Amino acid sequence: MPGTVRHGESVEVAIIGGGIVGIVLAVGLLRQNVKVRVFEQAQGFREIGAGIAFTANAIRCMEQIDPAIVTALRLSGSVATSNGDEKEPNDYLRWIDGYNQHREDDPYYQRMLYKIDAGYRGFEGCRRDQFLEALVKVVPPEVIECRKRVQRIEERSLEEKITLTFVDGTRAQTDAVIGCDGIKSRVREIILGEGNPASYPHYTHKVAYRTLIPMEDAIKALGDYKAKNQHNHVGPNAHLIHYPVANKNMINATAFVSDPNEWPEEKQMVAPGSREDIESAFAGWSPCVRNVVSLFPEKLDKWAVFDLWDYPAPFYNRGKICLAGDAAHASSPHHGAGACVGIEDALCLSTLLRQVNTSVQENGISKGKALRAAFETFNAVRRTRSQWLVNSSRRACDFYHQPEWADPAKWVKAETCFEELKDRSYKIWHFDYNGMIKETIKGYAEREADLV
């Protein structure tokens, strides 16, 4: 009978969305002998966004999921940010006074406020499109179907197959669905409900402007040391962050500006902008910052930063449908760790689906019950940390944009933020993923025991 579930065989999972988290998860599930299909709405794999960085911890998570992922990352031309400089072998995050304390005798002077040691090869950066291209090659081509935009998901009962209906009118059946379909997730909208504010991302009241600057020009603007090393220039209502890319031939510079207004169009997060916008936001800042701003193109895109902070999802699964990565917890980019937390999700789910296969193939538990127990475990294990990240990234940006940076009587208070930024960074970088794996296995085993 079509649509009924036969026991004893591997479960089959549909992953909605072929972004980095979706493909990493597919690799992980395949390694656990889970049947996987990935449905991607686009015609092919063209990721937006120039660069992406992974923490050393996230790379260790990839290694746990499947060492082939790390190989793909390295083959895609990823580079350790650590430069092997004898004096500073490690990666650091650096915050520098972008606004105050100009010195007429030394216009390049900016006070270093704080730096945090991320360890040797603490970060590894790559181009998103190149990494995704290398990742896709790790999975058999028949696993991925493009031009499949999901429209409806029907889960009639626990022991029946789920039916996916795509915008093109075609259908597919599967045991379980994992939505890795990013910040504008359709799967989220389906399980939380149309019209529910938690189903949609909201404006963080920050806009971002990005550009690449040749190193030669960056050195003229900032001085040699600052141009060649990551720096985050903080000040009232804005910050400018830059780091070297492309084998140190360029710097990637991003200016974030606070915006008290509403974003006019919820569907479209990019609007035309101009250098003048940034110039006025950084007027009166250090000459170094203004030099960098003058190197942005006259006309450029203005990116609205959206996230899921205002209305966090009350749950990450409904029955055998689950959310992971940005679909579950899209964050603003201020910790640079959104994708890393998605990789942790993929590790958790790979662990769980291995357990599900054992339950189904060896312990005689039904697919439906096993899958629901797995996704409930995922929700219990992952929701707190991943929503914490969304909060924390907002908090970090609030610190960078403190109005107090403009008031000398408030500098001491403003600088007290760094202890907290250090703690928050460590919580991200030093995540105990082995502890998470243990908690996952234990949580699933407890739920499984109730099923037997």
Active site residues: 210, 243
Q: How far is the C-alpha of 93 from the C-alpha of 400, rounded, in Å? A: 13
Residues 6+ positions from 221 with CB-CB distance below 8 Å:
213, 227, 288, 291, 292, 294, 295
Strand partners, 35: 12
Residues that bind a second copy (CB under 8 A): 197-198, 309-314, 384-385, 387-388, 391-392, 409-410, 412-413, 416, 419-420, 423, 427
Among 189, 150, 121, 120, CA closest to 22: 150
Q: How far is the C-alpha of 254 from the C-alpha of 118, rounded, in Å? A: 21
Among 423, 439, 427, 424, CA closest to 347: 439
Q: How far is the C-alpha of 13 from the C-alpha of 179, rounded, in Å? A: 10
Element spanning 358, H or E? helix 338-362
Burial 105-142 (b: 16+ CB within 10 A, else e): eeeeebeebbbbebbebbbbbbbbbbbbbbbbebbeee
Q: How far is the C-alpha of 23 from the C-alpha of 138, rounded, in Å? A: 9
Among 396, 391, 384, CA closest to 421: 396
Two tokens, residue 380: 């219990």
Among 326, 343, 394, CA closest to 56: 343
Query: Hey, how many other C-beta atoms are within 10 angstroms of the C-beta on 266?
Result: 14
Q: How far is the C-alpha of 182 from the C-alpha of 247, rounded, in Å? A: 30
Q: How far is the C-alpha of 282 from the C-alpha of 292, rounded, in Å? A: 10
